[in-house]
Amino acid sequence: MCGSALYGQQSLDFFGNSQSINSMYRLNSLESNAGNFSMSKDWELALSFSGVRENQISGNIFMLSLSKRIDANYFYLRYTPGYVQDFIVNSGIKLLLSDSLKFNSSLNTKIHFAEIFGFGYSYRFLEKFSAGFSLRYFEQQFKEDQPEPIFTDTANYISTKTTVTNNNFWRGDIGFTYQPFDFLSLSLSSQNLFLNEKSLLGEAVDKYSLKNDKGAALSVNYFPSDKLKINYSVETNGSMIGGISSSVKLLGFDFNFGISALHDRYQFPFIAGIQPFIGFSTHLFNISIGGIKYMKDRLKPLPLSELTSNGIHNLMNNQYSFDRFNLSVSIALSFVPEKNVRFVDLEIKEQIFPTMEEKYLDTPVAIAKVVNLTNKIVTVKPALFIHSVNNELVYSPETNIKAHDTAEVKYFTTIHTKRPILKSEIAEADFYLYTTNQDPDDMIQKPLLINDINSWDGVVANLHYFVQRDYDFSSAYSKNILTQHKQTIDSVSIELKIFQKVKILFNEFVKNMVYVSDPRADVEHVQFPNETIKLKGGDCDDLSVCFSSLLESIGIETAFVDYKNPGDVSHVNLLINTELKPGQSELITNNDKKFFVRKNSDGVDQIWIPLETTSLNNFETAWSVASDKFETEALEKLGLAKGNVVIVDF
Q: How far apart are the first and last CA of the chain?
A: 46
Residue 59 has pLDDT above 50, yes or no: no
Residue 204 has pLDDT above 90, yes or no: no
pTM over 0.85: no
When pLDDT is cut at 50, 70 and 90, the band that residue 576 belongs to is: very high
What is the arithmetic mean of pLDDT over 236-264?
Answer: 85
Residue 541's H or E segment, with its range, is helix 540-552
Per-residue pLDDT tens digits for 80-112: 898 888 888 776 655 555 554 444 456 788 889
What is the arithmetic mean of pLDDT over 480-496?
Answer: 95
When pLDDT is cut at 50, 70 and 90, the band that residue 54 belongs to is: low
Per-residue pLDDT tens digits for 376-396: 899 999 999 998 889 889 999
Candidate ranges 79-88, 210-219, 226-235, 399-408; pick with highest mean pLDDT: 399-408
DSSP codes of every residue in 554-607: TT--EEEEEE--TTS--EEEEEEEEEE-GGGGGGT-S-TTS-EEEE-TTS-EEE
Residue-range domains of the chain with CATH: 16-262+304-332 (no CATH), 341-450 (2.60.40.10), 457-649 (3.10.620)
**257/348: higher pLDDT:** 348
CA-CA distance, 223 to 244, in Å (whole number)? 10
Per-residue pLDDT tens digits for 18-50: 445 555 565 556 666 555 555 555 788 888 888
Backbone angles phi, psi at 511, to 5 degrees: -55, -45
What is the arithmetic mean of pLDDT over 453-477?
Answer: 94
What is the arithmetic mean of pLDDT over 142-165?
Answer: 74
Question: Could you tell me which of 342, 330, 329 has the C-alpha nearest to residue 370?
Answer: 342
- Give the model's pLDDT for residue 2: 32
Residue 7 has pLDDT above 60, yes or no: no
When pLDDT is cut at 50, 70 and 90, the band that residue 477 belongs to is: very high
Question: Could you tell me which of 439, 429, 330 has the C-alpha nearest to residue 389?
Answer: 429
Residue 72 has pLDDT above 90, yes or no: no
- Give the model's pLDDT for residue 25: 61
CA-CA distance, 199 to 206, in Å (whole number)? 10
**253/479: higher pLDDT:** 479
- Give the model's pLDDT for residue 375: 80
Question: Could you tell me which of 325, 323, 329, 331 has the C-alpha nearest to residue 277?
Answer: 325
**250/141: higher pLDDT:** 141
Evaluated on CA atoms 303, 304, 306, 307, the torsion sign reads positive
Residue 57 has pLDDT above 50, yes or no: no
Residue 52 has pLDDT above 80, yes or no: no
- Give the model's pLDDT for residue 157: 60
Residue 69 has pLDDT above 70, yes or no: yes
- Give the model's pLDDT for residue 6: 29
- Give the model's pLDDT for residue 429: 96
Round the average pLDDT of the chain to a whole number and report it.
Answer: 84
251 φ/ψ sector (left φ>0, alpha ψ -120 to 50, else beta):
left
